[in-house]
Amino acid sequence: MLGAFTGLTALGADAARPQDGPGAAASAETTPRARPVITPTPTPTPTPRPAAWTPAKLTALETPVRELSQLSPAPPPNSIALTLDDGPHPKWTPRILDLLAEEEVHATFFIVGEQVKEHPRITRRIADAGHQICNHTETHPMSIARMPEKKVRREIVDAHDRIADATGVVPRFFRSPGGAWSKTVLELTAENDMLPIDWAVDPRDWARPGVRRIRKALLKGKDGNILLCHDGGGDRFQTLKALEDAIPKLKKRGLTFIAL
């Protein structure tokens, strides 16, 4: 609830004006000056509870989305989607955001709840720049496909809450760490009103195979592909340098980068 403040009303002009005559100087010293009206700073409206507490709206998909054509509505022709995982990172995410702004590209960030907790300002910067923010679990467990339902639910819901509270954005898409999917993960993704997202092009940039190999893999991207890269989880210098070269070249082919 927004805090309530009572503005202080300025005194009338006549009351503030000193009187003529011998006592004018004294009156001027003792008459209170008009105070400015104080405008209260609004308190942010609490974010409504995310979709985890709403009735299930989606039917669990048997396989996650790998191509833009699987989305509804379908994207325009010659579209390609850049996705970035594991952030936000205090060093690499801002540098990648700068690059995306320079190239006028919108991307999709699959972020980790624990990283949101550590770097809320960077998280808000991603959202404020118009990029799509999505759920990539709370702690990024690589064994999520083998975890019991209770733990999987906690990973998804905790991240869902944290992202919504930090940005006001309720995630619409979910990516499982390492692309590890199971019946439980897919069902809980749908229960939380999200679509499961995979990828079509994986340059394995997380392994830091070299700028050249990352760039070469990205340049294989074509209309309808979802590209996988990382802005968090470690040193992403190679990813940044590869994207600096690959993004302009893909654009020159007539491809338009879109957020999911």
* Catalytically annotated residues: 85, 230
Number of other CB atoms surrounding residue 138 within 10 Å: 22
In sequence order, which residues have a C-beta less than 8 Å from that of residue 166 and are 6 or more positions away? Answer: 116, 120, 123, 124
How far apart CA 105 and CA 107 sit, in angstroms, is 6
- 227 near 221, Cβ under 8 Å? yes
Q: Are 50 and 160 in contact (CB under 8 A)?
A: yes
Residues in Cβ contact with 164 at an 8 Å cutoff, skipping those fewer than 6 apart: 47, 48, 50, 170, 171
Q: What is the radius of gyration, based on Cα positions, of the chain?
A: 26
Angle CA 127–129–132, to nearest 5: 45
Give the DSSP letter string of 5-27: --PPPPPPHHHHSPPSSTTHHHH
Q: Which two tokens stand for residue 197?
A: 């997202």
Query: Over 131-146, what HEC string results?
Result: CEEEECCCCCCCCHHH
Query: Smallest Cα–Cα separation from 87: which of 64, 113, 67?
Result: 113
